[in-house]
Chain A
Amino acid sequence: MGSDVVLQTRNLGKRFGRRWAVSGLDLAVRRGDVFGFLGPNGAGKSTTIRMILSLIRPTTGSVELFGKSLRGHRREILRRVGGLVEGADFYLYLSARRNLEIVAGLCGGIRAEEIDRVLDLVGLAGRAEDRVKTYSHGMKQRLGLAQALLGAPEFIVLDEPTTGLDPQGIKEVRELIGRLSCDRGMTIFLSSHLLHEIEQTASTMAIINRGKLVIQGKVSEILNQAEVGVRIETDRPDRTAEVVAGLPYARTVVREDRTVHVTLPQERLAEVNRLLIELGIGVRAFVPKRSLEDYFLAITEGASDVAPRAQQRRQEGN
């Protein structure tokens, strides 16, 4: 199993002064994954990515890439990794090609055709000789992707690659990520503060909040096989609440005026709906809402001390 894990962090932590930006972080990214790294702003995503790319020294723990410690094998590892950290910054007074030549010079053994290839891949071949100063934000972002792809890395780390792009640009980046993953089998680590973005591009994911891992696993499992919060409106709310509370797998039943809120496993939804109808209760609305979405919305909206239900579940599951 060891060889197919591309990235492994163990107890990774970083303290700035007295504040821990990241702590006890264990991440595992397997070969071929598109790994979504999700968290609200300030959750520690960027600090983690900077530790993975050797910009920041961890206070605790270690980063392993391709089964080797980053500390001891930095040069060898980074030869196989491409990164785009927090937007793309370049030497504005130089052309796109010159900028890529500089990056190539830092990697060693990258040929001129390779620069043409990545420029072509991101659709900048026609503007390669223009100074980056004249580029739009979207073009700079694409150039950022181009430099991350230089030297055909096996693993690329993209920190919020769609930030500041227009819908067309976002779509293009998403398609590019899809192509890299499908056609080239590249392993991609992608951070975002938007759940739907991760949902659309990633195969596995982790959520981080306040520097700590909340949950990690396959996107499909996390988003679909998890428990679901359901809002039920019927003509007999009292009876409904009573019935639902009697179910062994139902959790946190809350009666609110004419509505009942309950948390149910995804695969039981139809069963509960049928049961209510069979008991002669008139169901006006039966609206499932994924609990992760609720939870994530809550933490991204800055509500403090949200009960981390997903975390409870993870611990129960273990």
Chain B
Amino acid sequence: MRSVFGNELLKTYLRWRSYIAFIAIAVVVPLVLIAMKLNADTLVRGVTRGLSQDFLFVGNIVNGYFVTYVILNALWIHVPFLLTLGAGDQLAGEAAAGTFRVLLTRPASRSEILTMKYLTTLLYTFTVVAFLVLLSVGLGLLLFGSGVLLVPAKVLTIIPAGEAPWRMLLACLLATWGMWVVASVAFFFSSLVDNALGPILGTMAVIIIFYVISGIPVDLFRAVRPYLFTTYLNIWQKALESPIPWGEVLESGAILGAFSIGFYAITWYIFVRKDILS
């Protein structure tokens, strides 16, 4: 019969709630792309800003890869929000529905159930991020065609069209790695409460507060920046720098991984001891 992991996959992917994130992405991405299509000229001017005085831009700058880069900036706030809907419900949802009373009176241990739920959450996070990237690249190439990828970040990076696909793949994987921390925070909040809203609000509050702290140029706040996971969420952008700063990727990656494991460990500590009163 079905394994504990199979159970969790089934519960997550057979419920309507899990598809809110996919539906939202499927609605927003085409809308953004159409808006960009209609305003391509303004967009080019915006991207190249003052540079057009010194450089001559030829070719298709606003192409499928570029629009994907623009859309991936939804990773700061929008994607985390969509992820909390699913990740935040993993434990709190069972408590609210009263199904823990069935789930946790069975031979399978709490550790086992928690771990399988966590792995399911990670997989779900990956599918959401991958869906966002695939849809953006796919629709983007369809609407805008291919071309060199121009990334107007700290410095203007130019990536040849042939290299763009695997850079996008790498960005997708690194974005997933970063979003796993967000999902882990939501999972952690999920173990604390018996309602669906708490983990969503808790996670978003943490993320927004961390962004605010990061954004205020005060020495005290600068000093705590390295300890906030949000500081490292830009890891996916590193896949689009030339050359790729592998040292930074590894360092940020290690720190994000440590955050994910840390949140999982705290959740585990709480959950295996928790009295189920729901």
Binary contact readout A40-69 vs B (1 if CB under 8 angstroms, 0 otherwise) = 000000000010011111000000000000
How many whole Å from B71's CB to the nearest CB in chain A?
31
Q: A98-B10, A102-B11 are in contact. Are A56 and B276 (CB under 8 A)?
A: yes
Q: Are A50 and B107 in contact, CB atoms less than 8 angstroms apart?
A: no
Chain B CB within 8 A of A147 CB: yes
B90-108 interface (Cβ within 8 A of A): 97-108
Most chain A beta-carbon contacts within 10 A, residue among B4, B6, B275: B275
Distance in angstroms between the alpha carbons of A74 and B272 in the assembled complex: 13
CB contacts (< 8 Å) of A78 on chain B: these are 105-107
Interface size range on B against A: 20 to 34
> Which of these, A56, A79, A101, contacts B1 with CB under 8 Å?
A101
Q: A91-B11, A93-B15, A102-B11 are in contact. Are A107 and B107 (CB under 8 A)?
A: yes
How many whole Å from A274's CB to the nearest CB in chain B?
55
How many whole Å from A279's CB to the nearest CB in chain B?
60
Q: Are A55 and B99 in contact, CB atoms less than 8 angstroms apart?
A: no
**CB nearest neighbor in B for A74:** B109
CB contacts (< 8 Å) of B10 on chain A: these are 94, 98, 102
> Which of these, A55, A57, A75, A108, contacts B101 with CB under 8 Å?
A55
Q: Are B275 and A83 in contact, CB atoms less than 8 angstroms apart?
A: no
- What secondary structure prevails in chain A residues at the interface with B? loop
Distance in angstroms between the alpha carbons of A109 and B1 in the assembled complex: 7
Distance in angstroms between the alpha carbons of A107 and B177 in the assembled complex: 33
Q: Are B102 and A54 in contact, CB atoms less than 8 angstroms apart?
A: no
Binary contact readout A69-89 vs B (1 if CB under 8 angstroms, 0 otherwise) = 000001110110101011111
Q: How many A-B residue pairs have CB under 8 A?
A: 91
- What secondary structure prevails in chain B residues at the interface with A? loop
Q: Are B107 and A105 in contact, CB atoms less than 8 angstroms apart?
A: no
CB contacts (< 8 Å) of A98 on chain B: these are 10, 14
Chain B CB within 8 A of A121 CB: no
Most chain B beta-carbon contacts within 10 A, residue among A56, A90, A105: A105
Chain A CB within 8 A of B39 CB: no
Chain A CB within 8 A of B7 CB: yes
Chain B CB within 8 A of A110 CB: yes
What 3 A-B pairs come out closest when comparing CB atoms? A89-B98, A106-B106, A105-B2
Which A positions have Cβ atoms within 8 angstroms of B?
Answer: 50, 53-57, 74-76, 78-79, 81, 83, 85-94, 98, 101-112, 147
> Can you name 20 A-B residue pairings with CB atoms under 8 Å?
A53-B105, A54-B105, A56-B275, A57-B273, A74-B109, A76-B107, A78-B105, A85-B105, A89-B101, A89-B102, A91-B11, A93-B14, A93-B15, A98-B10, A102-B2, A102-B7, A102-B11, A105-B6, A106-B108, A112-B1
Q: Contacts A94-B10, A102-B11 given; 8 further ones with Cβ under 8 A?
A: A50-B275, A57-B273, A78-B105, A86-B101, A89-B97, A91-B15, A104-B2, A108-B1
